Amino acid sequence: MELLEENVLKLTPDRLIQMDIHPSSNLTAIIGCDRKGATGLLVKSVNDELWSKVNYIFHKAYATCIRFDRLNPNLFYSSSYDGTFRLYDISTNTSDEVYRVPDGNGITCFDYVSDNTFLATMENGDAIMMDFRSSPIVVHRYDLSKTRLRTIHVNPCQPNEFCVAGRESAVRIFDVRQLVEDTRSSFIYCLSTNRACYGAYYNHLGTYIMATTTDDHLASFKYSDFSSAASTADIDPTHRVSHQNYVNRFVTPFCAMPHPIHADQFLIGSSRRERQIHVVGVDCKVSSSLESVNLNSLCSVNIAHRTQPIVVGGNSSGRIHVFTKR
């Protein structure tokens, strides 16, 4: 893959926290959110030579997560530490506050359970399920952890199951059907990570979970081994390899993200002086890297297109690097 000079662009005004890329094959549309609450959108169709860009500011605090709508390409959702979950319509240039956490807890991450249902995690360790199929929306709240949760990821092949990671030294897996309001919900599996996690994600087949830990390691867990574990409450990693995940307080910590095409690959930033994006296998080892003379900064946030050979790496100043097929 190659990185052309014209594909190095500014997406957000401040430190990039998360990105999403639209699955369309007719255009490349990338959204991102930053620590000041701003979001950015970059769009380029297959027939255009130049990118179109727009920035929005509708959060009052650190924006934590951003995703395109599954059904309407003109819509995207975002969450923030200001406790709001917002919907933005690109075609009408309007933003709506879909939900506000009543006690002021910030939303740290969210994911789709279905096209109209979301799961989101919060600073206090709770999770909320938002069902948009009715008006007003139906919201259920569950107690999952005593400490802040950083990420939530729904199993791509079993949407009733999801994993969460945060300040506890474990990745916990829950079943939506077993969640109970007003009491601590029981997990179905607990994966030991030795230290707190920056995040944990399934690969796109749901056969592995990759955790990125605060003690500078990657830990992968093979799903088929869970049922035969001596204890479902303390499952050790299948593989665990050292990898520098924290650079300094000005750089978003690295987090291994699943490649949506290759089930055995994850993308993660690299702290090496020769700037590169690591491609990591399910064995936690670096199998290859993306490099370019036009890549001159640490890519702490990395994603790939769902169907096209496109990888996007973003740095902590809000600049992105769009790798495409040669």
Residues 277-314 have pLDDT tens digits of 999 999 999 999 999 999 999 999 999 999 999 999 99
How far apart, in whole angstroms, are the C-alpha atoms of residue 64 and residue 15? 11
CATH (domain of 231): 2.130.10.10
Residue 33, classified by CB atoms within 10 Å of its CB into exposed (0-12), middle (13-18) or buried (19+), is buried
Number of neighbouring beta carbons within 10 Å of residue 97: 11
Tally of domains within the chain = 1
Classify residue 30: in a domain, yes or no.
Answer: yes
Model pLDDT, residue 182: 82
Average model confidence (pLDDT) across the chain: 95
Peptide bond into 136 cis (omega under 30): yes
Tens of pLDDT, residues 52-90: 999 999 899 999 999 999 999 899 999 999 999 999 999
Classify residue 143: in a domain, yes or no.
Answer: yes
**Does 35 have pLDDT greater than 90?**
yes
Model pLDDT, residue 46: 82
How far is residue 150 from each of residues 119, 160, 165, measured CA to CA in Å?
Answer: 13, 20, 6
| Domain range enclosing 30 | 20-253
Classify residue 6: in a domain, yes or no.
Answer: no
Tens of pLDDT, residues 160-177: 999 999 999 999 999 999
* Contact indicator for 119, 125 with CB cutoff of 8 Å: no
Classify residue 8: in a domain, yes or no.
Answer: no
Which residue type, as a one-letter code, is found at position 218?
Answer: L
Classify residue 15: in a domain, yes or no.
Answer: no
Model pLDDT, residue 164: 98
* Contact indicator for 296, 308 with CB cutoff of 8 Å: no
The reported pTM is 0.95
Q: What does the CA dihedral 247, 252, 256, 261 come to, rounded to 10 degrees? A: -130
Model pLDDT, residue 58: 87
Tens of pLDDT, residues 116-157: 999 999 999 999 999 998 888 999 999 999 999 999 999 999
Tens of pLDDT, residues 313-325: 999 999 999 999 9
